Structure 1
């Protein structure tokens, strides 16, 4: 038909690639249905064109937010690529409305497929993560740089790196078995079943227990001293929850807040905006003991904490030294399989547990890891990808700090 002449089918296909890169799952049947709908309805009505694509290319209501943003930038602005390049040029005065448009364009532009130039940059040395050569300022982001000292542009680049990380949860054995070529157990049932094909000859068949992802629980400190690190950890947790749904996330400052349902949203910006509305203690004080007590009392029985890996993200600084923090951490340790402490204070090479609260927490954790840079987050992914071995783990700082403290006190 006349309405489908020119580059419209190609543009529909490019728009589909953009939606897929933004996190919307679209099959080939959705693309063909979209093109057929446009053939039937034509291009006389902008409203009909929008809803025909929305109906054919989205299946969930939460995808509509991403679709609307991508549609506005892709179809209504023919010079979208040119404008996004112009956003990199320095400007002396920017209004709030322009900043919102820039953030909106940046969100969709980051999901566009990588060009050959960016692919070559990804193959550079390990100590360089991102290089914006050719823009207003050339910035090289190093893995070891502290999140607290990064600029806004560097933090944006770091979140892109965290979003592309491949994270694998530790496995735990399931009660059922599955056949394997080599395994610790003999499967009599499979051996007798295959004997029919082997003229009555029973050959040994092996089996092993099935494995499934171990549940993981995040307890993230959002006090003032942890603000920059908590924001980066939320991007890491969001990336993890898009692949593994068996995750629970809690924020604590002066109170405990469950945000698991909010981070299931595919749009991280929309999720962070909703999180800011439900947490009124962000960048405030911290009550570690009260938050752990509330988790042990309220959430342990309501969530699959038993057999899970608990990640406690905090600097461990609590002003109330008269509390029973030691008892609450002991109870938390008994209710989970592994208790991992991620502390940004490990960015200091001569870190020692001088605070009373840090000493009490350190006695009840299986491992202690830093969480202040991209390098530390990559080490965390390595730790999660294999079964934690407590004090024998090479990434564990706990034994090194305890040995250093003994040397100084001896």
Structure 2
């Protein structure tokens, strides 16, 4: 066990105490901060000094931040904790029911909410005003989500906008979800007491025992079999918040008995393809996703959808796509590689499976249009195009799988492409 020398801290001990409280706020916000990092932070501050606020910020960030997505949360907690005279008023305003008016950056807004909850703890939230002035300069709409049950509100909440407590509750709800599927008829048959089809082979074989006399007709009925479920999940930077929740859902489906799937195969891709099927077989979801994250080295990195699908079609297509497999492709479709290769690989994937269902979190926007070149290349070759940003959208997957004619948003988006093709490179990049 490592030992650290005594640090020459101020006599009043306020700096060490404040850094400790700051570390607790980071831990409540979701960052993996333990006592060891607090000691490292004290040593780093003692070595670097804290005469400048910028140096102090970067010193603590180097100690407490270990993943790129944690930087936004750290910056918000730091801004609200260290010497911001209005941080309490800002936090209390963040704890009010949401006021829908100005569109803000979604990642920063979610980080501010988590920082406010971590610093306020169980402090009472201020009550919203009973009425808004009629002669105000701007008319806003108050979100009345408090009138609904917490679970009903959580079902429709965007994964990226959830606080730490809401994420934990959403994971518990996802663990209860199932994805049932109907069995498929097989070309093989099995004996039946009565049926529309006569089993001539069994009938003639039975007649041989009676000297060729047919005493009764034997019947047969088709056997049924369960299809495979294949999940291809994008874990690039733009999909990180959604892919974690989707993988919790996939883990629940893979470990729930009696819902029909023969096998569940899961793959992640960012800049390369990774098979995480065996990791999801672990009963504990945290251990399963931890091992899967260690296997997938390209988490929160870039996106190469076309190259990743090429690797899947080449190395895994014939192994897992037989027996009428259903493929769930979870990605936003924002790919900077050759759109021609992407279209070819998605078409090949579509021809190799029974149904190809594309789950895209960007469909949460009402005015979504397929301007990105990657989305336009993939759209014609999928059977169904659905949103995947909330628990309710994942629950609706059962309908998409059960109904063979369910295409989701695909027909509407194809009409948009036909009306305004966005053929120029500038128009294609505008959709990104």
Q: TM-score range by the shorter chain?
A: 0.5 to 0.7
For residues 169 and 247 of structure 2, the distance between their equivalents in structure 1, rounded to whole angstroms, comes to 15
Post-superposition shift, 1:316? 0.3
Query: Which residue in the other structure is 2:174 paired with?
Result: 162
Match of 1:374 among 391, 394, 405: 391
Listed one character per residue, the Cα deviations across residues 342-385 of structure 1 (whole Å, up to 9, x for unaligned) are 1111111221111111111112111111111111111002323x
| Larger displacement relative to structure 2 (200-209 or 243-252) | 200-209
Is 1:337 aligned with 2:337? no
Query: Counterparts of 1:287-298 in structure 2 under 5 Å?
Result: 287-298=304-315
Is 1:213 aligned with 2:226? yes
Listed one character per residue, the Cα deviations across residues 218-252 of structure 1 (whole Å, up to 9, x for unaligned) are 11000111111111111111111113451111000
For residues 173 and 203 of structure 1, the distance between their equivalents in structure 2, rounded to whole angstroms, comes to 26
Is 1:364 aligned with 2:381? yes
Query: Any stretches of 5+ residues in structure 1 without a counterpart?
Result: 1-90, 99-134
Under a length normalisation based on structure 1, what TM-score does the superposition of the two structures give?
Answer: 0.60
Is 1:274 aligned with 2:295? no
Is 1:399 aligned with 2:411? yes
* 1:216–1:309 CA contact under 8 A, matched in 2: yes
What SS does the aligned partner of 1:208 have? strand
What SS does the aligned partner of 2:280 have? coil
The 1:157–1:301 alpha-carbon spacing in structure 2 relative to 1, beyond 3 Å, is same
* 2:303–2:335 CA contact under 8 A, matched in 1: yes
Post-superposition shift, 1:175? 3.4
The 1:205–1:167 alpha-carbon spacing in structure 2 relative to 1, beyond 3 Å, is farther
* 1:255–1:291 CA contact under 8 A, matched in 2: yes
Post-superposition shift, 1:210? 1.3
* 2:306–2:338 CA contact under 8 A, matched in 1: no
Is 1:224 aligned with 2:243? no
For residues 162 and 281 of structure 1, the distance between their equivalents in structure 2, rounded to whole angstroms, comes to 25
Query: Which residue in the other structure is 2:189 paired with?
Result: 177
Is 1:148 aligned with 2:165? no
Task: Please tell me the root mean square deviation across aligned C-alpha atoms, in Å.
Answer: 3.3
Query: Which residue in the other structure is 2:106 paired with?
Result: none
What SS does the aligned partner of 1:234 have? helix
Post-superposition shift, 1:186? 2.7
Post-superposition shift, 1:188? 5.2
Listed one character per residue, the Cα deviations across residues 29-55 of structure 1 (whole Å, up to 9, x for unaligned) are xxxxxxxxxxxxxxxxxxxxxxxxxxx
Query: Any stretches of 5+ residues in structure 2 without a counterpart?
Result: 1-23, 36-120, 125-145, 423-432
For residues 350 and 174 of structure 1, the distance between their equivalents in structure 2, rounded to whole angstroms, comes to 43
* 2:229–2:263 CA contact under 8 A, matched in 1: yes
Query: Which residue in the other structure is 2:90 paired with?
Result: none
Which of these two proteins has the greater Rg computed from alpha carbons?
2
* 1:321–1:356 CA contact under 8 A, matched in 2: no
What SS does the aligned partner of 2:374 have? helix
Query: Which residue in the other structure is 1:106 paired with?
Result: none
For residues 406 and 322 of structure 1, the distance between their equivalents in structure 2, rounded to whole angstroms, comes to 18
Under a length normalisation based on structure 2, what TM-score does the superposition of the two structures give?
Answer: 0.57
For residues 92 and 348 of structure 1, the distance between their equivalents in structure 2, rounded to whole angstroms, comes to 32
Query: Which residue in the other structure is 2:324 paired with?
Result: 307
